[in-house]
Amino acid sequence: MPLTREEAIHTSKILSEALPYIQKFIGNTLVIKFGGNAMTDEKLKRSFARDIVLMKLIGINPVVVHGGGPQIAALLESLGLTSEFIDGMRVTNNKTMDVVEMVLGGSVNKEIVSLINHAGGKAIGLSGKDGQLITAKKMVVSKKTPGMKVPEIIDIGQVGEVEKINRQVIDMLTDSNFIPVIAPIGIDQQGISYNINADLVAGKIAEVLGAEKLILLTNVAGLQDAAGNILTGLGTSDVDKLIADGTIDGGMLPKIRCALEAVQNGTTSAHIIDGRVDHAVLLEIFTDQGVGTLITQQT
């Protein structure tokens, strides 16, 4: 059935609006963290895969880093294991780490690769353990309460932070026209595996690659103020104030912190976008309005 006149005008407007953005970003690297509802809704998964393939076809180099929190939680529950979170980080003992590796490095990673390849792309899945892509170290979490002279050190198990990214592995894939799909598992010098927050991994990879954009998909419309209004066009000083006054807390903290560090260390901009919106990545990159929160270095 042919488009109506109104539909045709709307479509042509969108295509015309996208042109300058396509011209601007050709040849640049975009790091996209894939997570939240976008990873569990079948329609959203397929639209995400098509977005990634389209970017590659027009000359942009997408690098995908994925999470898998809901899938990990589901398997832990089926095994009778409980999940505990501290400052948005999953406490990870040996048994939990086995599940994390099984889910992130196995089923979830391979599903994303398959979706991208089915959409016409050339994706290769890997974890941070492959080619020593992610060298990790144990994350130290401290908490200070009233009456304590020194902060309490909290052991959250095999939860790590990025010590080093081996960009040679990523460059090898992107230069060969492949799309890297990375599971956020790292390994230290002693061979111990670590579960690393996918947002933090995406942020560090964006820094090392000097990416044009870091895009974090989430389950909310973007960063919101106390009244529920979406905040965008933020500079780093604006974000610092929002953290200080408590507007940003809980599970949003790791996202904001990695976005902040990325733009402070070479990434042009960071975006926190609503992964529940169909084709959210394309809408954020190629339209004037976007669908989330934009953070840049400007103050």
pLDDT of residue 87: 67
Cα–Cα distance measured from residue 147 to residue 221, given in angstroms and rounded to the nearest whole number:
39
In the chain, DSSP assigns E strands to: 29-34, 61-66, 85-86, 89-90, 123-127, 134-138, 141-143, 152-154, 160-165, 179-183, 185-187, 193-195, 213-218, 269-274, 292-296
How many C-beta atoms surround the C-beta of residue 116 within 10 A? 25
pLDDT of residue 106: 92
pLDDT of residue 85: 78
DSSP secondary structure code for residue 177 in this structure: T
Mean of pLDDT values over 113-117: 97
| Burial class of residue 181, CB neighbours in 10 A (0-12, 13-18, 19+) | buried
pLDDT of residue 88: 67
pLDDT of residue 33: 96
Give me the CATH code for the 27-219 domain, please.
Answer: 3.40.1160.10
pLDDT of residue 146: 54
Is pLDDT at 10 greater than 80 in this prediction? Answer: no
Tell me the residue type at 285: I
pLDDT of residue 150: 44
More confident residue, 13 or 263: 263
User: What percent of the chain lies above the pLDDT cut of 70?
Assistant: 93
Confidence of residue 61 (pLDDT cuts 50, 70, 90): very high
pLDDT of residue 142: 63
pLDDT of residue 66: 95
Rounded to 10 degrees, what is the CA torsion of 25, 27, 28, 31?
A: 110
Give the position of tokens 């942009």: 60
pLDDT tens for residues 116-161?
999 999 999 999 999 999 999 998 876 655 554 545 566 788 889 9
pLDDT tens for residues 72-99?
888 988 998 887 777 667 888 888 889 9
pLDDT of residue 153: 60
pLDDT tens for residues 251-294?
777 788 888 899 999 999 999 998 888 888 998 888 877 778 88
More confident residue, 247 or 60: 60
How many C-beta atoms surround the C-beta of residue 100 within 10 A? 26
Instruction: Give the 3-state secondary structure of residue 36.
Output: helix
